[in-house]
Each structure stands twice: as C-alpha cells, then as structure tokens.
Amino acid sequence: MNCRNILNNRTVTLLFLAAAALYFGRGVFDCSNQFWLDATKALPVMLLGVTTWLYGGNKLLPIAMLLSAAGDIAGEHGAFLWQIGFFAAAHISFIAYFVSRASFKRSRVWMLALWCTLFLLFGGFIVSHIGNIAFRIACSAYILIIGSMAAATLFIDSSRQWCYTAAALIFVISDSCIAWNKFVDKFAYAGLAIMVTYFLAQLIFANLYIKDER
C-alpha cells in the first residue's frame, strides 16, 4: 500500500501529539529506567522522521529529524557535546534541504543582513558566558550552523516560505532557551519552554514537508 494514502498531515500530527503526551506525562510514572527515558524523549521527533521518510520525496528533511532524535538521546544522557554534534548535523541536513528548494530573491537580502547582525550579537553574548573552552568552540560552531539554517528559509521557493521561517525561528528560540539556561541564568520552566518550542518547530517542518512533497 502506498504510504501516502495513510500518512497525511492529520495522521502524522495525531501520532506526534500522542508521543509528545507520553513524554510530558512520563513524570507520572516515576520511572528511572534509562531506556524508557530515552524512548519517550526521542520518540516524538523520531516518529516525524520515520513518517516523513516513508511519505517519500527528498530524504534530507527526514534525515535531519532522525539526527535530531539522536541528539535528544544524547541530551538525555547529559552528553552535551554529542548532543551539539547530532543537532549540528541535523541543521546541516535542514540547510541542504532548504537550499535544494531555494531561489535568489533580492528583496530578502536586507532581511538576511538584519538576521545575521542580530543573531551574531546574541550568539556572541552567549559565547561570552561560556567558560569551558571545548563548550565555547562547539557552541560557536553550532550557533553559526543554526543561524545559517534559519537564514536559508528566507530563500525557499514555496508559497509557505514564511511558515518555514517561523518554524526555524521557533527552533532557534528553543536552543536559545537551552543556552541561556545553561550558561547565562537559569529560569523557571526552562525545560517546558525548551521542549514545547522544539516539538512545535519539528511538527511544523514535518507538516510543511508533507504539503510540499505531494
């Protein structure tokens, strides 16, 4: 049976929301089993990766989501540098997907310049608060990569281009919350803010992929 007959936006969204509910509700079970913790954190985005892969089309975006799921597992183990590495690879895959669908638009150049200026200022502020040299190097590289991912969405040739940009900015907000909470100042409900924005960004990307790869 053709997977496209089953995997529409509604089905994928419902599967994702069920997996996300399992993640947010895992505290109710008071379970310390590492396999369970890994599975519940990685499952929502892994489902998006698998379903978009099965849907067909350009595989770069599904690969980005599967790499993100690997980053989720690394984060659950506290392996920060591995987490950054997996997500950097994921964003490179996102960039490759967006560039494959890009067309130059002169009107967007000023927006690109504004984005680069603001993002580099914010990234520099974050890096200035990182004492560990290995973390500083890794985070600097990651900031440039995720910033490039968001910038690439400005040139996507799609009627839904602004939706891609919105999803990318939500992803950036999620990672900014991680960086701020880890290196600058801890804030209340950081974990919730990080995961809600992260899940939302990935879900939007998956829905856009299904619509544009028909």
- Are the C-beta atoms of 147 and 120 separated by less than 8 Å? yes
CA–CA gap between residue 61 and residue 205 (Å, rounded): 8
Residue numbers of the domain that contains 26: 3-212
Q: What is the pTM of this model?
A: 0.92
What mean pLDDT comes out for the span 40-53?
94
Q: Under DSSP, is residue 1 helix (H, G, I), strand (E, B) or coil?
A: coil
In this prediction, residue 1 carries a pLDDT of 46
Alpha helices in 56-184 (DSSP H): 60-76, 80-100, 109-127, 133-152, 161-179
- Residue range 80-94, pLDDT digits in tens: 999 999 999 999 999
- Are the C-beta atoms of 199 and 20 separated by less than 8 Å? yes
- Are the C-beta atoms of 74 and 41 separated by less than 8 Å? no
Residue 188 burial (C-beta neighbours within 10 Å; 0-12, 13-18, 19+): exposed
Is the Cα dihedral 62, 156, 11, 22 positive or negative? positive
Q: Which of the four pLDDT bands, split at 50, 70 and 90, describes residue 213?
A: confident
Provide the domain count of the chain: 1
State yes or no: pLDDT of 4 exceeds 90: no
Task: Report the percentage of the chain scoring pLDDT > 90.
Answer: 79
Task: Report the percentage of the chain scoring pLDDT > 70.
Answer: 94
Mean pLDDT of the chain: 92
How many C-beta neighbours within 10 Å does residue 163 have? 18
- Residue range 108-128, pLDDT digits in tens: 899 999 999 999 999 999 999
- Residue range 192-209, pLDDT digits in tens: 999 999 999 999 999 999
What mean pLDDT comes out for the span 26-52?
83
In this prediction, residue 5 carries a pLDDT of 63
Tokens of 209: 């992929």
State yes or no: pLDDT of 2 exceeds 60: no
